[in-house]
Chains A and B, each alone.
Chain A
Amino acid sequence: MANVELTNVRKVYGSSVEAVKGINIAIEDGALCVLVGPSGCGKSTLLRMIAGLESITDGTVKIDNKVVNELGPAERDIAMVFQNYALYPHMKVYDNMAYGLRNRGMPKDQIDKRVKDAAQILELTQLLERRPKELSGGQRQRVAMGRAIVRSPKVFLFDEPLSNLDAKLRGQMRVEIKNLQRQLGVTSVYVTHDQLEAMTLADILVVMNAGSVEQIGAPLDIYEKPASTFVASFIGAPPMNLVPVKADHSGLVLKDGTRIGAEGLSIPATGALIGFRPEDLEVSAGTDTHIGGLALDLKVLGVEPVGAESYVYGIIGGERVVVRVPGRSTSNTDDQLRVIIPKQKLHLFGADGKRI
């Protein structure tokens, strides 16, 4: 058990390519921290720096209040689950799990006990004599997990461990990883580009973009109060709608020139973006004026029924938006709808993309 603390961590490749630009994250003992972001945002590099597989250009990484910058991967007492599982193909499942313990000179009977216990937890007991080649994707995933937990390390590191599985299995394994992590109470850092995985797994969520942290917080806090347009459009599916507005003397003007009532919003002179989640729109039945909300006209471009809900795609003020309606939508293409965004559900972002 240990906490993990990153202070001003930087990674520079060559002389000028800055992959990670001064990151500060503190992860409490036993918490699961998810690093999420688009590919190339530096999340994997950061994880590999914690693991000791990548050198740290600047800043400090602390595990259990001890600076580990100069320690090799083996001395940091971490275990890592790789995206491709990285199972040793020439070893049986048992040996794959025992390898790390043998290297540390643990007595045979203890190794045996640990491997069998881990196999029990992960339902691998029947598979111990097989080779990785003879296992399915989900089973390999479990072995990779098993190899991590037998060592009972201070920190688990996960590098997109579920991205090679099909959608159904991914959902299953997600729940299992969460439960296992809870049960073992081992501090974990989990890298993914899948926002759903990030939302459901994280105790503490770190949204990264272009080598920097955009926002850190509890998943739902981030969902409800995204710090920037990047976070707003990255977290949540379908993403948050963003409609640019400008203020003039008599009210607000949308991109295509449509005028709307200001409704008490204060828009900076440089313009702003109004953000609203697809599920936060109310489709108004008639032309009744709604109090305390922003009323907008939406032209329907198309409707996607997905079963429990429908996505209505349309245009508001020249900007494409999506609305989430429960059940089946009665709208048709080219319909004009009046939608209302309750004021407390409105997000406002400045021209620089930062939340106002």
Chain B
Amino acid sequence: MASSTRVTFPNKFLPYLLLAPQLAITAIFFYWPASQAIYQSVLREDPFGLSTQFVGLDNFRRVLGDPNYLNSLQVTVIFSVATALIAMALALLLAVMADKVIRGKGIYRTLLIWPYAVAPAIAGMLWLFLFNPSMGTLAYLFRSTGYNWDPLLNGDQAMVLIVSAAAWKQISYNFLFFVAGLQSIPKSLIEAAAIDGAGETKRFWTIVFPLLAPTTFFLLVVNTVYAFFDTFGIIHAVTGGGPGKATETLVYKVYNDGFVNLILGDSAAQSVILMIIVIGLTAIQFRYVERKVHYG
């Protein structure tokens, strides 16, 4: 069957030539760094970078036995789950509301999509300016109401701050997909449900939400990966992993250990572990969560 529908090229090398740019990009920007990380993770380098030594799995052993690393793992889990959940829930809420707007629909959508165009570091700076205890406008408001706002000293507040910033930035993206998902649900289904006696809330949970499942699932995967990797800029700008190590996620620790503290072996071992975690997470999502997804 497959052979009958196969496209045959007149020249044997043409298909490879056409694939080459994509393959080159994948090889240079993914496979090469990834293999470098794996290679580095089994080496130890002296502080001056003059000699390297093969140490097997020693780096992994040390990293996994380090309480700082386990703390960072916990921070990452809290940060990722909170960011993904908040970003998705708020985006869904906004999308459902925007779907009901009749006049100025386009304006609403455009305004809600704008934050996505803001670079992570800039977004981080914006939040910093708003919430920095010594100069932040909103921080000033907080304190004037008597609330002791100080994310520079209070780890939980710092966490709230980076979760908010990271979620805020991702909401636009999620919103866009939820709006598209909502639009693809035939209006007659909603009408049929209304005739069938389902109120608005019931309609949402029994008809709309299940039919949005493919979108929601896709966003779950994307948001998890986002929270893990793409939030580095925000964390770097807002808290720098502090106070203490309260907001040091796995990715941030890789950066800290590798590029600040120059412990290349440990850092490489951490990135390999991180790679395994993300592969595992994605596999779990596809294996268990996707089963509950109904594709229309």
Residues of A near any B CB (own CB < 8 A): 51-53, 72-74, 78-80, 82-84, 86, 88-90, 99-100, 103-104, 133, 147, 151
Contacts and interface: CB of A to CB of B under 8 A. Distances in A.
Question: Which of A79, A83, A86 counts the most chain B CB atoms within 10 A?
Answer: A86
Interface stretch (B40-48, B133-141, B189-197, B266-274): B189-197
A86 B191 contact: yes
A84 B197 CA distance: 20
B294 interface: yes
Nearest to B194: A73
B193 A99 contact: yes
B211 interface: yes
Contacts of B195: 51-53, 73-74, 78-80, 100
A100 B197 contact: yes
Contacts of B193: 88, 99
B143 interface: no
| 7 closest residue pairs by CB, A with B | A100-B196, A103-B197, A86-B188, A86-B192, A74-B197, A90-B294, A73-B195
Contacts of B210: 90
Nearest to B195: A73
B182 to A, nearest CB: 15
Interface string B12-44: 000000000000000000000000000000000
Contacts of B206: 99
13 contacts: A52-B195, A79-B195, A82-B188, A86-B188, A88-B189, A89-B211, A90-B213, A99-B198, A99-B206, A100-B195, A100-B197, A104-B197, A151-B196
Given A99-B196, A103-B197, 8 more contacts: A72-B194, A73-B194, A74-B197, A83-B188, A86-B188, A86-B189, A86-B191, A103-B202
Interface in B170-199: 186, 188-189, 191-198
Interface of B is mostly: helix
B207 interface: yes
Contacts, number: 59
A130 to B, nearest CB: 14
Nearest to B189: A86
Contacts of B191: 51, 53, 73, 80, 82, 86
Interface in B259-296: 294, 296
A323 to B, nearest CB: 43
Contacts of A147: 192, 196
B196 A84 contact: no
A82 B193 CA distance: 12
B29 to A, nearest CB: 39
Contacts of B188: 82-84, 86
Nearest to B207: A88
Interface in B188-228: 188-189, 191-198, 202, 206-207, 210-211, 213
Nearest to A51: B195
Contacts of A83: 188
A281 B181 CA distance: 58
Contacts of A84: 186, 188
A79 B197 CA distance: 10
Nearest to B209: A90
A327 to B, nearest CB: 46
A103 B196 contact: yes
Interface string B84-128: 000000000000000000000000000000000000000000000
A147 B197 CA distance: 12
Contacts of A99: 193, 196, 198, 206
Contacts of A86: 186, 188-189, 191-192
A32 B233 CA distance: 67
A284 B195 CA distance: 58
A51 to B, nearest CB: 7
Question: Which of B192, B194, B211, B294 counts the most chain A CB atoms within 10 A?
Answer: B192
B192 A103 contact: no
Contacts of A53: 191, 194-195
Given A82-B188, A103-B202, A89 B296 contact: yes
A296 B196 CA distance: 59
Question: Which of B194, B202, B211, B213 counts the most chain A CB atoms within 10 A?
Answer: B194
A235 B296 CA distance: 39
A289 to B, nearest CB: 61
A104 B191 CA distance: 16
Contacts of B198: 74, 99, 103
A73 B193 CA distance: 10
